[in-house]
Amino acid sequence: MDLTLKIWRQKDKNSAGQLVTYPLNGISPDMSFLEMLDVLNEELLVKGEEPVAFDHDCREGICGMCSLFINGRAHGPERGTTTCQLHMRHFKHGDTITIEPWRAAAFPVHKDLIVDRSAFDRIQQAGGYVSVNTGGVPDANEIPIPKTIADKAFDAATCIGCGACVAACKNASAMLFVSAKVSQLAMLPQGKVEAKTRVENMVAQMDVEGFGACSNTGACAAECPVGISLDNIAMMNREYLGAKASSENV
Partner 1 sequence: MILDSKIPEGALAEKWDKHKFNVKLVNPANKRKYDIIVVGTGLAGASAAATLGELGYNVKAFCFQDSPRRAHSIAAQGGINAAKNYQNDGDSIFRLFYDTIKGGDYRAREANVYRLAQVSVNIIDQCVAQGVPFAREYGGLLANRSFGGAQVSRTFYARGQTGQQLLLGAYSALNRQIAYGKVKMYPRTEMLDLVMVDGKARGIVVRNLITGKIESHSAHAVVLATGGYGNVFFLSTNAMGSNATAAWRAHKKGALFANPCFTQIHPTCIPVSGDYQSKLTLMSESLRNDGRVWVPKTVELAQRLRKGEIKINDIKEEDRDYYLERKYPAFGNLVPRDVASRNAKLVCDEGRGVGASGLAVFLDFADAIKREGQPAIAAKYGNLFEMYAKITDENPYESPMRIYPAVHYTMGGLWVDYNLMTNIPGLYATGECNFSDHGANRLGASALMQGLADGYFVIPYTIGDYLAQTPYAKVSTEHPAFKEAEQNVKAITDRLLSIKGNRTVDDFHKALGQIMWDYCGMARNAEGLQFAKQEIRKLRDEFWQNVKVTGVNEELNQTLEKAHRVADFLELGELMVDDALNRNESCGGHFREEYQTPENEALRDDENYAYVAAWEYTGPGNQAILHKEDLKFENVKLTQRSYK
Exposure class string for 207-220: b at 16+ Cβ within 10 A, else e: eebebbebeeeebb
Give 10-50 as a DSSP string: -SSTTS--EEEEEEE----TTSBHHHHHHHHHHHHHHTTPP
Range 8-47, binding partner 1 (CB under 8 A): 11-12, 28, 30-32, 34-35, 38-39, 42, 45-46
Which of 17-25, 60-68, 166-174, 232-240 is the region at the interface with partner 1 (rule: CB under 8 A)? 60-68
Residue 114 interacts with partner 1 (CB under 8 A)? yes
x-marked contacts with partner 1 along 126-155 as a string, rule CB under 8 A: x-xxxxxxxx-xxxxx-xxxxx--xx-xx-
Which of 17-25, 96-104, 110-118, 171-179 is the region at the interface with partner 1 (rule: CB under 8 A)? 110-118
Query: Residue 172's beta-bridge partner residues?
Result: none
Range 158-217, binding partner 1 (CB under 8 A): 158, 160-161, 184-185, 188, 190-191
Q: Which of 14, 48, 94, 250 binds partner 1 (CB under 8 A)?
A: 48
Q: What kind and span of H or E run contains 101?
A: strand 96-101
Residue 53 has what DSSP assignment?
P
Residue 231 interacts with partner 1 (CB under 8 A)? no
